[in-house]
Amino acid sequence: MNDEERVAVIEKQTGYVFKDKSLLLTAITHSSYAHERKINKTGCNERLEFLGDAVLELISSRYLFEKYKDLPEGRLTYLRASLVSEKPLAECAKRIGLGEVLRLGKGEEAGGGRTKASVTSDAYEALIGAIYLDGGFEEASRFVEREVMSCSGEHLKEKDPKTTLQELLQKRMEAHIEYELISETGPDHDKCYTVEVKVNGKACGRGEGRNKKNAEKAAAAEAVEYWKKEIAK
């Protein structure tokens, strides 16, 4: 498949026509391809992925803020993570055939890069970044809301964040998780509980709620985000 065909496929599948086709080509260029072709490091999709991640986070945050008007910050953070994580983005990439048009190096190609969730989800974020640069925030918003948010139902089925935290850690370490009540304020009819969660004695999340159970969930949601970042380092 040549580059002109790659562009045509993605424009047809996304419904967005690029004014600057080079942005789209950069979005589908994996670092392995750039390395093999001795293209400057900035010629692969990593910088666009960085930008697209930020654009996606803002659009999804606004979407959740408006959709779930009564949820506290910790719960919104958890929902956003479930919506824009690797798995759902890889599914979005698969729907538009993004893996099939990626420019990959021979090694990555042989290693099954076209179907790797890590590769296709990164490229999808790069695509969002490219649309943002080419058409502006409103075009990027229309694309994300149509392609990502409209398919969010399955991923917004909430799993208890306490369970998610346990599952995340048990795959990687011996983890002792404990929840500690930090404070209890307000009158009996309007209590506010603050809970801190510790993993192996280290505090990694804090949350508030009208009861201890909800406060623990909010703390766990924050801890999930903390450990995802730690694991990614």
Which one of 36, 53, 57, 109 is the catalytic residue? 53
53 flagged as catalytic: yes
Which one of 108, 122, 125, 222 is the catalytic residue? 125
Helix (H) or strand (E) holding 204: strand 202-209
Place of tokens 């990959």: 104
190 flagged as catalytic: no
Dihedral sign of CA atoms 159, 161, 166, 171 in order:
positive
Strand-pairing partners, residue 193, are 184, 209
The residue length of the chain stands at: 233
What is the radius of gyration, based on Cα positions, of the chain?
20
* Cβ(154)–Cβ(176) below 8 Å: no
Active site residues: 53, 125
